[in-house]
Chains A and B, each alone.
Chain A
Amino acid sequence: MSVIKIDNLTKTYNETQVPVHAVNGISLTIEKGEFTAIVGPSGCGKTTLMNMIGGLEIPTSGNVVINGIEISKLKSNELINFRLNNIGFIFQSYNLIPVLTSKENVSFIMQLQNRPKDEIEKRTIQLLQSVGLGDKIDSKPNQMSGGEQQRVAVARALASKPKFVLADEPTANLDSKATTQLLNIMKKLNEEEHITFIFTTHDKRVVDKARRIITLEDGKVISDKEIS
């Protein structure tokens, strides 16, 4: 069952005199439960593609259909609401809310969804324990290491029970130990709970864990391999 269908997607930036075709006619399908890496050199269009899948940028042409909904047709607030309920985000620089504890960072998403208080409490603890941070629930981002912060970000991304998780260079700021820990957690969640992960990376260790590798160059897919 496909979660994401991308059809002839393009994104052209006209900020300079010479138009930049960041994404140039990409068509893809992502199935439920995939653990997919999007790789390629810097400037190949990975982040732009991720932003368009996540509804953060509007395509110049083509469309992104998520669970049957063409997201470029949604209005601004509908899109925000769609993201809240369907997509989990993990950012390169963690991007936690610095004034909230890890518990509050995770529960915040569910509060935005107006979930019952009991459910929020239970799921928050459960998620933080699943990423190995059961003892850090009251720590603020500045009291945690980069690896720990990124694991909170994973818990936050999963809090809304999204259809898939987009992770843009999730290990770029982590040391090897933290990278391994994070990958193991993501892999475990993917295998045991069938959560769909799509991530961009330059890191070979991350690529090695992926079951599908999509390689981009100059805004186009130059290879799309399934790893058995």
Chain B
Amino acid sequence: MLFKIAWRNIWRSKLRSIVVIFAIASGLVGGLGASAWMNGMAKQRVKNSFDYQISNIQLHNPNFAINLDVRKTIDSVSQKISEIKKIDGVKAVTERLKISGMASTANKNYGVTIIGVNPKNEKEVFSLYKTIDSVSGNYFDSQFKNEIVISKALAKKLKVKLHSKIILTFQDFNGELTGSAYKIIGLFKTSDSNWDKTNVFVKNANLRKVLNIPINKYHEIDITLNDYEQAPVISKLIIQKFPKILSEDWAKIDPYNSLLNDFMGVMMGVFMLIILGALGFGIVNTMLMVILERTKELGMLMAIGLNKRKLFIVIMLETTMLSLVGAFIGEIISMFLIRYFGIEGIDLSAMQQGLESVGYSAITYPSLEFIRYVQITIMVIVTGIVASIYPALKALKLNPAEALRTV
């Protein structure tokens, strides 16, 4: 019966309750929407980073990372890859040569990282090839002698086009300055324009010849996993297997990604806390009005035998249910909007240049895990309970005789 009274009490002043419910719902839509947007941006950035740049785990010669020293290679790579592929949770593995060099055309030079890839394995680990549309060439599917894939941003910088030639110069395995001409067969574009400008891709076999690097030696092994969260565990396993190799998970390779991941969780918590805190004060205000309006009724309830505990429960239930109705509506609208924009995307092309210069896509796809909705519901219930305490205490202090005298 207490539940029934509390529920029906909400609808006694329909307009006021609707205003409070609308405030809660719109607060949640704003909070959840903004959180989903930020979360989507961060997730996309992390995913892009996995898909195009760093994979989930990278292996290097411990001395290689210091200055990309061409001589600091990992030996017996094919055997190591076979071993790594046997580890549970490993999805795909690829090997890379990686050196610093200079990309030059007749007019321009630009410092780049030259990455030698095995296209077949590379496609299993990275998705860079997917960013090359049909008019922008292909990802090592043609049969030219010296092929190179560069970004559209670098092509613009070097003032070259598809099928143009560029010269790469670099130090070979013996420390001699060397170089070779490459034909551009593909132009890629990721959401990180700075990274795009500084990385070019050639076939391992072509690069190896010019580098004079012995067979089965590589600079980097990239591993992608079924679940990227497992990276620290699997990285440890790899270290146990190959103690002389430096194995780093994505959080260590790019701490910004890891920070971003954690930061978004904290940010969302803070965001919701502020919104719910503000709503809490609104609810307290409304409930104080309710207590004031129903003083006589509360006096009557105490007079006829409703004890303080039950009176507290009635007020707490009313507040919590009011909050939950608002939360429910807010969450439904949020789910719908997040789902809709999660598919359609939010287009911020007007800020494309700025966003891409810091690694974010111009089109973002908001996303929010289901657990977040559960957390928000719990937070709303807690807010409702906390917000009911002060009005309920006010009600408990009423003297029934005095309350009954009020008009």
User: Which residues of A are at the interface with B, using a C-beta cutoff of 8 A?
Assistant: 51, 54, 56-57, 76-77, 80-81, 83-85, 89, 91, 95, 97-100, 104, 107-109, 111-113, 156, 160
B:271-307 near A, CB below 8 Å: 296-297, 300-307
B8 adjacent to chain A (CB < 8 Å): yes
Bound: A113/B305 CA distance, A: 9
User: Is A57 a contact partner of B297 (Cβ separation < 8 A)?
Assistant: no
B296 nearest in chain A by CB position: A95
| Residues in B whose Cβ lies below 8 Å from that of A98 | 12, 297
B351 adjacent to chain A (CB < 8 Å): no
A interface SS class: helix
Bound: A111/B304 CA distance, A: 12
B5 adjacent to chain A (CB < 8 Å): yes
Having A56-B399, A100-B5, one finds 10 other A-B pairs with CB under 8 Å, namely: A54-B303, A56-B401, A80-B305, A80-B307, A81-B307, A83-B305, A84-B305, A91-B404, A95-B296, A112-B307
**B1-28 interface mask toward A, CB cutoff 8 Å, 1 = contact, 0 = none?**
1001100110010000000000000000
A-B CB contact pairs (8 Å), 21 listed: A54-B303, A56-B303, A77-B308, A80-B305, A80-B307, A81-B307, A84-B305, A89-B303, A91-B404, A95-B404, A97-B5, A98-B12, A98-B297, A99-B5, A99-B12, A100-B1, A100-B5, A107-B1, A111-B1, A156-B304, A160-B305
Known: A56-B401, A91-B404, A100-B8. A112 touches B305 (CB 8 A): yes
Minimum distance in angstroms from B2 CB to a CB of chain A: 9
| Residues in A whose Cβ lies below 8 Å from that of B310 | 112
User: Is A104 a contact partner of B1 (Cβ separation < 8 A)?
Assistant: yes
Bound: A51/B308 CA distance, A: 19
B:382-404 near A, CB below 8 Å: 399-401, 404
User: Is B304 a contact partner of A89 (Cβ separation < 8 A)?
Assistant: yes
B306 nearest in chain A by CB position: A112
Known: A57-B401, A100-B4. A84 touches B12 (CB 8 A): no
Bound: A61/B289 CA distance, A: 36
User: Which residues of B are at the interface with A, using a C-beta cutoff of 8 A?
Assistant: 1, 4-5, 8-9, 12, 296-297, 300-310, 399-401, 404
User: Is A77 a contact partner of B304 (Cβ separation < 8 A)?
Assistant: no
| Residues in B whose Cβ lies below 8 Å from that of A97 | 5, 297, 300-301
Known: A81-B307, A111-B1. A56 touches B404 (CB 8 A): yes
| Residues in B whose Cβ lies below 8 Å from that of A81 | 305, 307
Bound: A111/B1 CA distance, A: 8
| Residues in A whose Cβ lies below 8 Å from that of B1 | 100, 104, 107-108, 111
Minimum distance in angstroms from B375 CB to a CB of chain A: 33
Instruction: Specify which of A77, A91, A95, A108 is in contact with B307 (CB 8 Å cutoff).
Output: A77
Bound: A99/B9 CA distance, A: 7
Minimum distance in angstroms from A136 CB to a CB of chain B: 18
Known: A51-B401, A95-B300, A98-B297. A80 touches B5 (CB 8 A): no
Bound: A65/B380 CA distance, A: 48
| Residues in A whose Cβ lies below 8 Å from that of B300 | 89, 91, 95, 97
Bound: A100/B297 CA distance, A: 13
Minimum distance in angstroms from A81 CB to a CB of chain B: 6
User: Is A95 a contact partner of B401 (Cβ separation < 8 A)?
Assistant: no
User: Is A84 a contact partner of B8 (Cβ separation < 8 A)?
Assistant: no
| Residues in A whose Cβ lies below 8 Å from that of B9 | 99
Minimum distance in angstroms from A76 CB to a CB of chain B: 7
User: Is A80 a contact partner of B401 (Cβ separation < 8 A)?
Assistant: no
User: Is A99 a contact partner of B8 (Cβ separation < 8 A)?
Assistant: yes
B405 nearest in chain A by CB position: A47
| Residues in A whose Cβ lies below 8 Å from that of B305 | 80-81, 83-85, 109, 112-113, 160
| Residues in B whose Cβ lies below 8 Å from that of A85 | 305
Bound: A113/B322 CA distance, A: 28
Bound: A94/B44 CA distance, A: 64
Minimum distance in angstroms from A156 CB to a CB of chain B: 7
User: Is B5 a contact partner of A83 (Cβ separation < 8 A)?
Assistant: no
A54 nearest in chain B by CB position: B303
| Residues in B whose Cβ lies below 8 Å from that of A56 | 303, 399-401, 404
Bound: A47/B389 CA distance, A: 32
User: Is A76 a contact partner of B308 (Cβ separation < 8 A)?
Assistant: yes
| Residues in A whose Cβ lies below 8 Å from that of B5 | 97, 99-100
Instruction: Specify which of B12, B304, B308 is in contact with A83 (CB 8 Å cutoff).
Output: B304
Shortest beta-carbon contacts, A-B, top 8: A84-B305, A99-B8, A56-B401, A95-B300, A51-B401, A57-B401, A80-B307, A56-B400
Bound: A160/B304 CA distance, A: 10
A97 nearest in chain B by CB position: B5
Bound: A98/B302 CA distance, A: 15
Which interface residue of A97, A107, A156, A160 has the most chain B CB atoms within 10 A? Answer: A97
| Residues in B whose Cβ lies below 8 Å from that of A83 | 303-305
Bound: A33/B307 CA distance, A: 28
B300 nearest in chain A by CB position: A95
| Residues in A whose Cβ lies below 8 Å from that of B309 | 77
| Residues in A whose Cβ lies below 8 Å from that of B304 | 83-84, 89, 109, 156
Minimum distance in angstroms from B119 CB to a CB of chain A: 72
